[in-house]
Chains A and B, each alone.
Chain A
């Protein structure tokens, strides 16, 4: 498990080539504003030959095109090819086919190690955009190196943080609707490299990554009752947290420093929010109300917690200090609000909204203003943020006895709604931080 992560530590990031200027020229996409036309780019197959050079080239292009912000120009339209990685760029040939960005690269293979080099050019201003970079690692991490290249290109052009080199923990579902078998699994953000974490012998729900991505919190019926567990992905060891007889624990999430877990504890039919220090085992009750308090999520600075409560009659979203105390309601619209999740950028809260028989994924400012619903379906729920806070992934379930859950992603602008490939029915995604 996470062997790729270990080798990933060996992924070297280094500068090479001449001096280039990080410039903010015309080659720029503003994600939050209306993009009418995806930005056309050319990506000649990286030199160096071999299947892996072609695979890496195609994956970089797929990452970029998959955002909906970029459009790949087919190689059949190319006027010139890139003779060698270090050859001067024939800008006019790329201008002529309206390529605004040009990505060139080279793959060096030595035994089971590869080095991927790339450069990004702003065709219309006739200059490199940022320095050339190279990534090195073992051949089996080629997908990660491709994601790293695509992340660099995406970040330089959009000014946003990267997110392609990341993973998603989720629940894979099989079997009929009244007897679903659920297994925890991890995959790359694009659905590749799925690895199962549990066998399916116990019902498992809602996994969530630790801030470093090396531990996963989840809820399991292993004991016959819902309880929260902590899985260490390095050694696959699992331990139960806060096992109190006669209680149910669920909805766990880590604090940003990874030391504290915030979760719901139910006793006598009433659910409240608690924190648990994972080192000392000390438990602290943050809410004390006869209503349902659940779905807690820390702000990225660790100082506040957003959660849902039906204390007003129907579920709404509230924010309180990380130490508990007075909570202020931030959701104001009609309908039920659930599963609030603080953006890793700190600027927004994503949520599930149920209104007039439909479910929506939405975002709002942390004070509840500027609510926008991004999706609408029979059943959408449980958004999770991409590491850059610009894309959400969530569960969409279809109706009826043969209904099946699937993972979808959508930009916070509401654009680029698409299904994420998974190994069968899937639910409860949680997006990892960017891999190191």
Chain B
């Protein structure tokens, strides 16, 4: 596997650390500002918050914007319980992502795999990795260069929805594609 040069990769890693809250584009999130979006990421502390610019998400109506990618193309796909197999809807979303990525070569991506809380911590890490990998493989099959993609698993550590019911679990069993601006050129 070929990866980006190390320095570049580090930038990408810091970037994802800083803006990894999967809810940042959540309900009404188009106006994602420094406070509501990045500042809320408790997991990575002050270091991450300080390194993040607040521009660049853009208008979801602008097809070249990150907001367009996350909201219109769709930045996430969902999975069945204890499964990492893509369903038709997931493949459709990923195909859209691949198309967008292929026409926006300036972006690298990190695919985050997640699990619901009905599993043990380490198993869920492995399951999240499986899900991220399923998405990654499909994106590659759609022409996205492997060197632009990295995966990470959060297991059950970063739920998108926090209730303990199937309605939330269904949202948490996901793979989220996070754009890394300027990292994939």
Contacts and interface: CB of A to CB of B under 8 A. Distances in A.
Interface of A: 175-182, 199-203, 205-206, 219, 221, 223-226, 245-246, 248, 250-251, 264, 266, 268-271, 292, 294-295, 308, 310, 314-315, 336, 338-339, 352, 354, 357, 378-379, 381-382, 397, 399-401, 403, 427-428
B126 to A, nearest CB: 4
21 contacts: A177-B159, A177-B162, A178-B158, A178-B159, A178-B160, A180-B42, A181-B43, A181-B45, A182-B43, A201-B46, A203-B43, A205-B121, A205-B122, A219-B125, A226-B153, A246-B3, A269-B134, A270-B133, A294-B123, A308-B123, A310-B123
Contacts of B120: 295, 338-339, 352, 354, 381-382
Given A201-B44, A401-B162, A224 B13 contact: yes
A139 B179 CA distance: 57
Nearest to A174: B42
A224 B14 contact: yes
Interface stretch (B16-24, B54-62, B71-79, B86-94): B16-24
Contact of A206 (B40, B45, B122, B158): B122
A177 B159 CA distance: 7
A352 B151 CA distance: 28
A379 B117 contact: yes
Given A292-B130, A354-B118, A379-B117, 14 more contacts: A178-B23, A179-B42, A180-B157, A221-B17, A224-B13, A224-B14, A224-B16, A245-B3, A246-B1, A268-B133, A269-B84, A270-B133, A292-B126, A378-B164
Contacts of A310: 123
Given A224-B152, A246-B1, A401-B162, A179 B43 contact: yes
Contacts of B98: none
B37 interface: no
B179 to A, nearest CB: 15
Contacts of B46: 201
Contact of A205 (B45, B127, B157): B157
A175 to B, nearest CB: 5
Contacts of B132: 269
Contacts of B1: 246
B119 interface: yes
Interface of B: 1, 3, 9, 13-14, 16-17, 21, 23, 40-47, 82, 84, 117-123, 125-127, 129-134, 136-137, 150-153, 157-164
Contacts of B16: 224
Nearest to B120: A338
Contacts of A378: 164
A248 B122 CA distance: 12
A199 B45 contact: yes
A352 B16 CA distance: 32
Contacts of B152: 224-226, 248
**Residue from B46, B129, B132, B163 having most chain A Cβ neighbours under 10 A:** B129
Contact of A246 (B47, B150, B159): B150
Given A264-B122, A269-B84, A339-B120, A224 B17 contact: yes
A243 to B, nearest CB: 12
Contacts of A250: 122, 125-126
B13 A269 contact: no
Nearest to B15: A224
A428 B122 CA distance: 11
Contacts of A357: 118
Given A177-B162, A178-B23, A268-B133, A294 B126 contact: yes
A428 B120 CA distance: 11
A393 to B, nearest CB: 15
A219 B121 CA distance: 11
A401 B163 contact: yes
B62 to A, nearest CB: 28
